[in-house]
Every structure is written in structure tokens, then in C-alpha cells.
Chains A and B, each alone.
Chain A
Amino acid sequence: MPQGERELPRPTPETSHFWEGTRCGELRLQRCDACGTVYFPPRHFCPKCGSTHVSVFRASGRATLHSYVISHLPAPGFEPPYAIAVALLEEGPKMMCNIFDCEQTPEALVLDMPLEVCFETINDEITLPQFRPAREA
């Protein structure tokens, strides 16, 4: 059985720019300067071609609901049932998330529905990127 506190990210040198970004409300990805691949999770080189010439950029925050489950199991910091989802970012990479501002039901959570990034501030150091149904522009 899960016990204790919700597990929080422990940033590493390769990921610190990502967590600095979420703290100031930005979802940051990396793009390879050599082959153009956009990738996630962060690292100091392109996993497609191995180039170390990579740039950090701010993602649009637009995504679609790629897949999910609704967990009925106990988890520290969560009230079941809650969705564990994967957002497919407009730029290509996939990212695990929870779905905010939405009923946690199969009826409300429709695959491929548009999502937008939002941010869940946990403490001074950690802000998690999350997603919610996209609001009409």
C-alpha cells in the first residue's frame, strides 16, 4: 500500500531548466539544432542523432488527450478516483499529467480532446505542469 507523502520531482542538472520554467509558468522543451527533433524528457543531447547542439524553447502548451486511466487505488496526495493521463503535445512529445478542471469520468475525458497546460504549484521549488480541457479562444 502506498504510504506517506506524494512523491515530488527531485530536479537534476539535466532537468533544472524544465523545473525553472514551470516555476515561472512556462512549459519548456528542447529542440535539436542539428536535426530539428523536439524531445522530452530533458537531456543535454538529442536522443535521435546524438548532437549536443540543442536549444531550450517555450512550448505552446497546446496538447490533446492521448490516453488515460482512472485510478481507484489509494495514492498519497490523491483522492480516488482520479485520472492519470498522457498529453500529446502539439510539438510532438508526450507527457504524463493529471487532468484539471474536469470531471474524472470516462464521459468527460474524451480521447483526442484539446488540452492546454496549466500549473500546479506544490511548494517554492516545485511547480508541476498539468493539463486541463482547452478553453475556447
Chain B
Amino acid sequence: MKPNSVAIVGASETTELGKVPTMSQVQLHADAALNAIADAGLELGDIDGIATGGHNAVEIAHYLGIVPEWLDGTSVGGCSFMLLVRHAAAAINEGLCTTVLITHGESGRSGLGRHGSSIFPSLFQQQFERPYGVTRPPTMFTIPVLRYMKQYALTEETLAMVAVVQREWAGLNPRASFRDPITVDDVLNSRMICYPFRLLMCCLVTDGGGALVLTRSDRARDLRRPPVYIRGTGESGETPLISQMDDFTSSAAFRVAGARAFSSAGICHDDVDHLMIYDAFAHLPIYGLEDLGFVGRGEAGPFIAEGHTRPGGSLPLNTNGGGLSYMHSGMYGMYALQEGVRQMRGEAPAQVEDAEISVVHGVGGMFGASGTIVMTNVA
């Protein structure tokens, strides 16, 4: 894809986040979609491409009254939306459609109108993992971490610092679910969920949604909002089984998606002003920083603990408070993208001054899939 040929011209979350007992899942999609289309200064009739993850894209189109010319329903977990941005940009460049709406909605907390898992069930997982008492993500996503901790001497205290630092960012964000400062002791004294993971190292479970509108950059300049250009993209997938991850200290999907995004954008790490790394659990920013190449192997924990990613640090990371403190409906990727857009527009609650390049990195399943988007406000 040619860098900056496609732009995000509309972006919005649902009007409410957190606990939304008045909306089922499809309405959360629609609420965000209508907000994003209005944000772009467009109308429903301008949309000719529909993409969503974790929900039938046809239902979204029908619910919105759109008969699209292009559909994508890639559902590989929470990073589906990064992949959909990539696919949408390719489709727009190919001329398959002109204006794509990507929607997310999930009644993660209230459970209204949900339909099972957002990822297709795995045959192997049914036979070779589920019989061993894996249930919800905290019992799976966390499994590789003791291996990492042994290999790189990562301590529980340092792991806890990830949650502490992200709470600092959340404290700057009025929409964050949890805003009160926490300490390492608070994290390590919180309820044990799945050793070595305690409650405050695990993401929230909330209701919400978000949507993006993308179109060609030459059209974008005539629209209401400053365009946020898609400068580079990458995606990959490794395995639906956490037990079959090749290296328990590094994600192959992260490495492939990240490297492709950086090379297609033509940027190096020093160019990155703002970074989002999908944090369903506290170890994910650690794996992400290393697999994206921002720091060396085993260095990410100390890097975070030393304050480089906190407000005022050299690499602002998860500036909305992340899945640990902002919100996490289940498929958090959309909210990471929304924060990337806010930062590029210069309107984030915790705005990084003069930020020109944002990297938004997502995970799907339990280190199963990955998508990375490089955004910029410079044409």
C-alpha cells in the first residue's frame, strides 16, 4: 500500500462507555457508527463499504440500512479492527469501494445481545486445551509469562508497574473507568486471579463500541475533520492455542505484523511519538515493546518501571489508560485505534505535544493474531 493514500476521516466511540444497559451489541455498533459518520460530516448514504469483527457484517449493514459494495468480517479477536483498517485501505486503493465504515460494539459487561465467542472456536483447542480447565482469558493469556519471568528475571513488582503507570495515564482521562492512582503494593495485594496475575493486572470488562470512517486521502481533505493518514500496516497470526506458541517469551504474530507496519511506513523507532499496545493483561506491553523492536529482549519491564512510558516519558504508551484502566469490552483494538486518532488530531485528554506519528498495535486471541497500524497527521 502506498503510505498516506487512505485516511481516517471519522472516528468515535459510543456515546457512553462502561455500563450501558440500554443497548444490545448491535445497537452499540450503530451508536458508534452514527457518531463516526457525523464526525466525518458524512451521511449513511455515503458509506459503501462495511467492515466489522466479532459480529456478522451483513447484520451491521442491514441494521444501518446500507447495501454495501464491499464487506469484510475478519474476526480474529481484539485486533480484528487493525486488520480491518489494513484491508479497508487496500480495498479503497483497489477501487472496490470509496468510503468504509468499520464498527465495533460489545456488551461485554451487560451481555445484551451477545452471541458467544468473538473468535471462531478451534478444533485443537477443544481437544487439547479446554479439558485442562482453561476457561476465560485470564487462564490462558497468562500461561507463557512465568517462562518469560524466569528467562529475563522479570519480577512481579515490575509486572505490577505496568498497571501502575497506565493508571497514571487514566488519571488524566475523564472517560477512564478507573482513575484513582494505585501503587505496586495495591497491585500485588489485589485478589489473586490466576497466579502470577492479580486482579489489577487484568483488564476491565465493560460495554461500549467504536467506529472509524476511511476514504481516499484526496477526498479526505475536503471533509470536516483533519485527516489521519494510514502510513503503514501489518498483520499476522500464529496459533489459536496458547500452548502451541512457538516461543513463550515472544509472539511471532507481533514480530511479523510490527516489522511489516514499520517497513511499509518507512519509519524507524525514533520517529514514533505515541504508542498504543493492546493491554488485556499487564504483560502485553512488555511483549509488545520487545517484539516491535523498541527495546531489546528482557528490557521492556525495566523500561516501563523506569518511567519511559509514563506521562512526560520519552515514549508515551497507552495514553488513554489502556484496557487495564480505560475500558475493555472484550475486543479492545478499536479503542486503541480511537486513541491513536485522537492523538493525531491533537484532541486527546492526555495529549502528547506535537505528536506526528502514532503506532497502534493489537493482539487477537491469546497471542493468536496481531495487527499494527502506523498513523500520521502529516500528509
Contacts and interface: CB of A to CB of B under 8 A. Distances in A.
Contact of B143 (A41, A77, A86): A86
B136 interface: yes
A69 B132 CA distance: 12
B127 A67 contact: no
Contact of B135 (A8, A67, A73, A94): A73
Contacts of B196: 69, 106
Interface in A105-137: 106, 111-112, 128
A95 B147 CA distance: 15
B346 to A, nearest CB: 41
B133 interface: yes
Nearest to A72: B192
Nearest to B151: A111
A69 B135 CA distance: 12
B130 A7 contact: yes
Interface string A61-86: 00000111111111101100110101
A2 B135 contact: yes
Given A73-B194, A111-B147, A9 B139 contact: no
A69 B197 contact: yes
A95 B139 CA distance: 16
Contact of A67 (B130, B144, B197): B144
A94 B147 contact: no
Contacts of A70: 194-195
A9 B127 contact: yes
Contacts of A10: 126-127
Most buried by A among B123, B131, B144, B194: B131
A15 interface: yes
B78 to A, nearest CB: 20
B107 interface: no
A50 interface: no
Interface string B96-132: 0000000000000000000000000001101111111
Contacts of A8: 131
A36 interface: no
A76 B323 CA distance: 28
Nearest to B124: A41
A68 B146 contact: yes
A41 B128 CA distance: 8
B62 interface: no
A73 B147 contact: no
Given A81-B195, A84-B143, A9 B128 contact: yes
Nearest to B195: A70
B131 A128 contact: yes
Contacts of A97: 132
A130 to B, nearest CB: 8
A68 B133 contact: no
Contacts of A96: 128-129, 132, 134, 241, 243
B146 A73 contact: no
A84 B134 contact: yes
A13 B324 CA distance: 42
A69 B194 contact: yes
A95 to B, nearest CB: 7
A106 B248 contact: no
Contacts of A78: 133
- Which 3 residue pairs across A and B have the least CB separation, nearest first? A70-B195, A67-B147, A9-B127
30 contacts: A2-B136, A7-B126, A7-B130, A11-B127, A12-B123, A41-B127, A41-B128, A67-B144, A68-B143, A68-B146, A69-B145, A70-B194, A71-B133, A71-B135, A71-B138, A71-B193, A72-B192, A72-B195, A73-B138, A74-B135, A75-B133, A75-B135, A75-B139, A81-B195, A94-B243, A95-B128, A95-B243, A96-B241, A98-B132, A111-B146
Interface of B: 123-124, 126-136, 138-140, 142-147, 150, 191-197, 241, 243-244, 248
Given A41-B124, A111-B147, 13 more contacts: A2-B135, A2-B136, A7-B126, A9-B128, A66-B147, A67-B145, A67-B146, A70-B195, A71-B139, A72-B192, A72-B193, A73-B138, A78-B133
